[in-house]
Amino acid sequence: MSGTAAEQLIEMDGVEKVFSVRRKEGRLRRVRHEVRAVDGITFRVPRGEMVGYIGPNGAGKSTTIKMLTGILVPSGGRLRVAGIDPARERTRLARRIGVVFGQRTTLWWDLPLKDSYELVRRMYRVPDARYRDNLARCVELLDLAPLLDVPVRQLSLGQRMRGDIAAALLHDPEVLYLDEPTIGLDVVSKAKVREFLREVNAERGTTVLLTTHDLTDIEQLCRRVMVIDHGRLVYDGRLDGLRAAGEGERTLVVDLARELPPIEGVPGARTVKVAGPRQWLVFPAGQSAAPLVAAVAERYPLVDLSVREPDIEDVIAKLYAGGRGGVM
Ligand SMILES: Nc1ncnc2c1ncn2[C@@H]1O[C@H](COP(=O)(O)OP(=O)(O)OP(=O)(O)O)[C@@H](O)[C@H]1O
Ligand SMILES: [Mg+2]
């Protein structure tokens, strides 16, 4: 292997996960039914990268993460994390990965936070000096000092999440999986968590796979984003490339001198909304707005205007809708 080639820390090749569920059909019949939660996914994540993993509810994100930790065994394909097959060597892998599931805590409910950390230390046999260093650093950056003696059950959601993230990092994992780490957090807590993750990634070179429904997390943390829908990857690339992939549209918002019927006859643009004297015209993201403005101004009493860039949320919604066609 070449010394300069980036080491691929996560490798997925055609990975599948099929759940067999029994569903009620009619009044008495129960029918076996297959859910293809992950339907042939292939990607690589090099060491040190922080990648966003997004998709609508039920897309297969959590299932992917569970396979990457060894909690779930794939139905097909090949999977390696740090060269380890997670399903076969879950315990050996556990020393090298950290996981945070935003929806449920991995801490001990009745114990004070610091006792939970002590258990983590023993579980992973973290050397004393390293444990002290890591804990001190997490306590400082995540503001945990006032919380260390509080039983986990008494922590607020945001406090608990910070506590969980620290627990996942005490044994210096090379890979960190975060499944919705900012879910339900207020703006300040979100900012704190993001800042911390950025620092861990930059300073430790920790490889991060981040699942979230908050696109601001992705915009602030990840250059690369993977979009999954119905168990399939529908996009893998730079975040700014998403706009083009989703056939983004820009919007020209014009204020006319008075209320008028929808503007017509502007080449390349179509009016999508009218509210009083204000009208919205959409046009392809790659096109210049100048000729449109000229065409409108020529025939309409134009008072004011602005151009809006494609909203990343809209682009992704479109991408989701596009991925659906192939599956049904
Ligand atoms: N243990 C299971 N048994 C049966 N079906 C399951 C199981 N776990 C997940 N599924 C199904 O697999 C699909 C993918 O679920 P998954 O939890 O991976 O989605 P997700 O992308 O994490 O969604 P969300 O954004 O809501 O968290 C869903 O249709 C879900 O109902
Ligand atoms: Mg999920």
pLDDT tens track, the chain, 328 positions: 444 567 899 999 999 999 998 888 778 788 888 999 999 999 999 999 999 999 888 999 999 999 999 999 999 999 999 999 999 999 999 999 999 998 888 888 899 999 999 999 999 999 999 999 999 999 999 999 999 999 999 999 889 999 999 999 999 999 999 999 998 888 888 999 999 999 999 999 999 999 998 888 998 999 999 999 899 998 899 887 776 666 667 889 999 999 999 999 998 899 999 999 999 999 887 788 899 999 999 999 999 999 887 666 667 777 666 544 333 2
In the chain, DSSP finds a helix count (H) and a strand count (E) of 10, 13
- Separation of alpha carbons 285 and 107, rounded Å: 47
| Residues written for the chain | 328
In contact, 215 and 191? CB cutoff 8 Å:
no
**pLDDT value of position 56:** 86
Q: How many angstroms is it from 134 CA to the middle of ligand 1?
A: 33
Pocket test for ligand 1, best of 22, 35, 41 (most atoms within 8 A of CB): 35
Q: How many angstroms is it from 225 CA to the middle of ligand 1?
A: 20
**pLDDT value of position 188:** 87
CATH superfamily of 1-96+173-186+204-247+311-328: P-loop containing nucleotide triphosphate hydrolases (3.40.50.300)
**pLDDT value of position 327:** 30
Q: Delimit the domains of the chain by residue range.
A: 1-96+173-186+204-247+311-328, 249-309
Q: Which residues contact 321 (CB under 8 A, 6 or more apart)?
A: none
Residues with CB under 6 A from ligand 1: 19, 21, 35, 37, 55, 57-63
Q: How many angstroms is it from 173 CA to the middle of ligand 2?
A: 22
Pocket test for ligand 1, best of 62, 71, 209, 327 (most atoms within 8 A of CB): 62
Packing angle between helix 187-199 and helix 128-141, nearest 10 degrees? 140
262 phi and psi angles, rounded to 5 deg: -50, 135
> Among 276, 279, 288, 285, which residue's Cα sits nearest to residue 254?
279
**pLDDT value of position 246:** 61
Q: Whose CA is nearest to atom 30 of ligand 1?
A: 58
| Residue 172 token pair | 């210096």
**pLDDT value of position 245:** 63
Name residue 35's beta-bridge partners. Answer: 19
Residue 205, Ramachandran bin (φ over 0: left; ψ between -120 and 50: alpha; else beta): left
**pLDDT value of position 328:** 26
Task: Kindly identify the ligand whose nearest atom is closest to the C-alpha of 73.
Answer: 1
In contact, 269 and 282? CB cutoff 8 Å:
yes
**pLDDT value of position 211:** 95
**CA gyration radius for the chain?**
24
- Separation of alpha carbons 134 and 196, rounded Å: 13
Q: Whose CA is nearest to atom 18 of ligand 1?
A: 60
Quickly list DSSP for 219-260: HHH-SEEEEEETTEEEEEEEHHHHHHHTT-EEEEEEEESS--
Task: Kindly identify the ligand whose nearest atom is closest to the C-alpha of 101.
Answer: 2
**pLDDT value of position 286:** 73
Name residue 46's beta-bridge partners. Answer: 8
Q: How many angstroms is it from 300 CA to the middle of ligand 2?
A: 50
95 phi and psi angles, rounded to 5 deg: -70, -20
Question: Measured over all CA atoms, what is the biggest interatomic distance in the chain, rounded to whole angstroms?
Answer: 76
Q: How many angstroms is it from 35 CA to the middle of ligand 2?
A: 15
